[in-house]
Amino acid sequence: MRFLVTGTAGFIGYHLAQRLLDAGHFVTGFDGMTAYYDVRLKEARHALLARSNGFKAIIGQLEDMAALEKAAEVAQPEVIVHLAAQAGVRHSIEQPRSFADSNLTGSFNMLEIARAVKPAHLLMASTSSVYGANEIMPFQEADRTDHPLTFYAATKKAMEAMSHSYAHLFGVPTTCFRFFTVYGPWGRPDMALFKFVDAISKEQPIDVYGEGRLQRDFTYVSDLVEGIVRLIDARPAIGSPVAAEGVSDTLSPVAPWRVVNVGGGEPVGLLPFIETIERCLGKPAIRNMLPMQPGDVPATWADHRLLEALTGYRPRTSVEEGVRAFVDWYVDYTKAA
């Protein structure tokens, strides 16, 4: 099949594109190569994808409609997976305009592309951050998401709403999936695992926010990609909700649209997570205990029953396995750098 995947030089986009290429599909990747973090890491990901004859890269910003139209013309996509975004919960407090440009204007442009191309399925990346201040866990897709704590979360909630309106008006089957703290090899340097491993390796202190009481539903990147790949064939259709006991389907009554959690369903405390890193590195962390940061939530926890009902799959990689895989990659990557 022919895919247009945005964000292929990014962490998740790289892994998804590689999985699709390995399966024999054709992937046109679109990425802005922004300098939010070290561009050399993004270039290295794209270089690996470029080893496949099935991969073509288009460099451009989501705000540049002409560049997106070029990518769509090259790809002739049967499926579009929109992963590119300005990420970083705390960065959205400092630089909100970049989130408006990328996540609002950029997502609108992608919806216009889908309107013109009419792919068999449009899949768009959202986030567990949309659950905001919700206290009842695990988070179910049908829970209200009216209290985002950061502008990043607000832009993703807006993207979900915009995509529903387009699915209703123009009939493009659309699935929004909410990620839960994705980690693994080729991860982003601004994320906790990369920062912790890097600092501990160099015997530098790590900042432990919330006095270590935070919990996160860590999701290994290969599990996430497996969920996305399986959701490709789970196209939403009006009037065809999931019929599974205990599952609340989010299928819209007026559009071929739904939202799905992709998370492991097993929250892990921040301190046990750090202890896992220490075991994998064979080094102790120097911990700088700090209060909660603005925009942080105490815990995340995915209800994965809808994903399992739709695809027969749920993430299963343990944090111990996932952290060890990341540490092995980090050691190799920093040696080669």
* pLDDT band at residue 96 under the 50/70/90 scheme: confident
pLDDT, mean over the chain: 95
**pLDDT, average across residues 196-220:** 95
Q: What are the pLDDT digits (tens) for 21-77?
A: 999 999 999 999 988 889 999 999 999 999 999 999 999 999 999 999 999 999 999
In this predicted structure, what is the pLDDT of residue 131?
96
At residue 91, does pLDDT exceed 80? no
User: What's the pLDDT at 133?
Assistant: 82
Contact residues for 302 (Cβ-Cβ < 8 A; gap 6+): 128, 138, 139, 178, 180, 217, 219, 261, 262, 263, 264, 265
Q: What digits encode the pLDDT tens for the residues 231-254?
A: 999 999 999 999 888 899 999 999
pLDDT, residue 219, reads 97
Q: Classify residue 319 as exposed, middle or buried by CB count within 10 Å of its CB (0-12, 13-18, 19+).
A: buried
The set of catalytic residues is 152
216-227 residue pLDDT tens: 999 999 999 999
139-182 pLDDT tens trace: 999 999 999 999 999 999 999 999 999 999 999 999 999 999 99
Q: Is the pLDDT of residue 293 over 90?
A: no
294 — pLDDT class (breaks 50, 70, 90): confident
Instruction: Give phi and psi for 295, each to the nearest 5.
Output: 90, -15
pLDDT at 51: 98
167: amino acid identity, one letter: A
| pLDDT value for 94 | 79
pLDDT at position 336:
79
Residue type, 326: F
Give the three-state DSSP class for 107: helix
Quote the tokens at residue 256.
Answer: 């071929």
Question: Using CA atoms, how far apart are residues 314 and 333, in angstroms rounded to an integer?
Answer: 29
Other Cβ atoms less than 10 A from the Cβ of 34: the count is: 16
For the chain, which domains are there?
2-183+219-264+302-316 (3.40.50.720), 192-213+268-299+324-336 (3.90.25.10)
Terminal Cα distance for the chain, rounded: 35
Task: Give the mean pLDDT of 292-308.
Answer: 91
How far are the Cα atoms of 100, 208, 225, 328 from residue 313, in angstroms, in the given order? 34, 33, 11, 26
pTM of this prediction?
0.96
Q: What share of the chain is helix, strand, coil (3-state, %, to 5)?
A: 45, 15, 40
